[in-house]
Amino acid sequence: MKFTPLDVRHQEFPTRLGSYDRTSVRAFLNELSDDMETLLQQHQALRDQLTGLERQLEEQRQNEDEIRRAVVAAERISHELRENAVREAELMIAQATLQRDATLRDAESRRAELESGHQARLAALEATLRLYRNPDRLPATLPTLRFLTRPVDELRALADRLLPAVAEAVGAGWAMSSVDCTSQIGSGALPLETIPSHGLAIEPVGRGASGSAVEALAASFRRLPVPVIGRIEKGALRFDLRCLEDVDGFTGQLGRLVLPAEAGAP
């Protein structure tokens, strides 16, 4: 800057004919104007710079606010995550504890069940072995042995006794006979072992004489309150009487036998 306030205050102009020299005054004013214009431009530039700095400061403040809010939000989320993690861990521990307790209860129940079954089997085996202390009484006290040792003549007599009742129950469309047969008793190393036995044979006659009629009759016997199981052999339904003890129960339910529709009259 060329002029200072002191220069302006003490500026003297040459006089000519009793007045200031116009050219000197004009030159001074021009230089002063230039300095003032420069000052104004600098002032405006400083103001613009100040405005920019103030804007940057405001942006920084806003950024700081956003950062502060983000930090607060992050802390809140972190706290919530920790709480959720704790709750989930507690829930998992509780569920694992329940599962453990349930598994232990099931294992204890299974152990008690196995122990009970084992004790029952031991008791049954012990009772069976005690029966063998009196071999002469085994057929009377051991059902399986009693069935296996029944004489064929006894079974033949039983068949003759039952034949009329069964013939009446199945009707005229069937032919009844008392027949010799075999009882399959084998197991283990001898699965096909048999012994002589006796039973009843029922064969269809007349228009209903067909394999399907025999199968239907066998199904009818199986549907009785106490199912009666036979086998179909050579076109006839055969009942082995070796294991039949409740004769009255067998004959008492024959009245509930529903005959197949295919069995016709001769």
Tokens (6 digits) for 246: 């409740």
- Amino acid letter, residue 9: R
For the chain, the domains span 1-104, 143-256
pLDDT value of position 9? 59
Contact between 227 and 221 under an 8 Å Cβ cutoff? The reply is yes
What digits encode the pLDDT tens for the residues 169-201? 998 889 999 999 999 887 776 778 889 999 999
- CATH for the 143-256 domain, from 3.50.50.60, 3.40.1160.10, 3.90.1150.110, 3.40.50.300: 3.90.1150.110
Q: At a CB cut-off of 8 Å and minimum separation 6, what does 264 contact?
A: 173, 206, 207, 208
Query: Alpha helices of the chain — where are they, by DSSP H?
Result: 5-9, 22-131, 138-141, 143-148, 152-170, 211-222, 247-252
Tokens 């349930």 correspond to what residue?
102
Cβ neighbours around 243 below 10 Å, total: 14
Q: Record the pTM.
A: 0.52
Residue 189 has phi, psi (to 5 degrees) of -75, -15
- Amino acid letter, residue 219: A
What digits encode the pLDDT tens for the residues 119-171? 999 998 888 888 788 887 877 778 888 888 899 999 999 999 999 999 999 98
Higher pLDDT, 211 or 71: 71
For 202, 217, 229, 234, 264, the CA distances from 211, given in Å and listed in that order, are 12, 10, 17, 10, 13
Q: Which of 12-21, 138-147, 230-239 has the highest mean pLDDT?
A: 230-239
Residue 134 has phi, psi (to 5 degrees) of -120, 80
DSSP-based three-state secondary structure for 172: coil
Q: Sorting pLDDT into bands at 50, 70 and 90, what band is 208?
A: low
Residue 265 pLDDT > 60, yes or no?
A: no
What digits encode the pLDDT tens for the residues 41-57? 888 999 999 999 999 99
Closest by CA to 205, choosing from 145, 265, 138, is: 265
What digits encode the pLDDT tens for the residues 70-106? 899 999 999 999 999 999 999 999 999 999 999 999 9
